[in-house]
């Protein structure tokens, strides 16, 4: 079952309203994406904690609707 990029972006922005989100399809199958997420909410958190915040925003869809997400997170300058 595929998941549109717009849905991924909406879920992330719902959890992290200030986030700047850029989603890129790695393969044209609706299951493999790259996401770049920038949010002030990441400030002071480890990279692992930042990624966990994004995965939590997806509400358990990883491994189901969304097969693979290559993730890059950052804090605004």
Rounded Cα gap, residues 41 and 16, in angstroms = 7
Q: In the predicted model, what is the mean pLDDT of residues 54-63?
A: 90
- Which residues constitute the domain of residue 11? 5-74
Sheet of strand 32-38: strand arrangement: 20-25, 32-38, 68-74
Output the pTM of the full model: 0.90
Domain count, the chain: 1
Residue 33: give its domain's CATH number: 3.30.300.90
Rounded Cα gap, residues 5 and 2, in angstroms = 10
Residues in contact with 50: Cβ distance below 8 Å, sequence separation at least 6, in sequence order: 37, 42, 73
The model's pLDDT over 14-48, given as tens digits with 9 standing for 90+, comes to 999 999 999 999 988 888 999 999 999 999 999 99
């Amino acid at each position: 079952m595929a998941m549109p990029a717009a849905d991924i972006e909406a879920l992330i922005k719902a959890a992290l309203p200030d986030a700047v989100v850029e989603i890129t399809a790695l393969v044209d199958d609706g299951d493999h994406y790259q996401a770049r997420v920038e949010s002030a909410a990441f400030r002071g958190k480890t990279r692992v904690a930042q990624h966990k915040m994004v995965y939590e925003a997806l509400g358990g869809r990883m491994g189901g609707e969304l097969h693979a997400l290559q993730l890059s997170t950052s804090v605004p300058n």
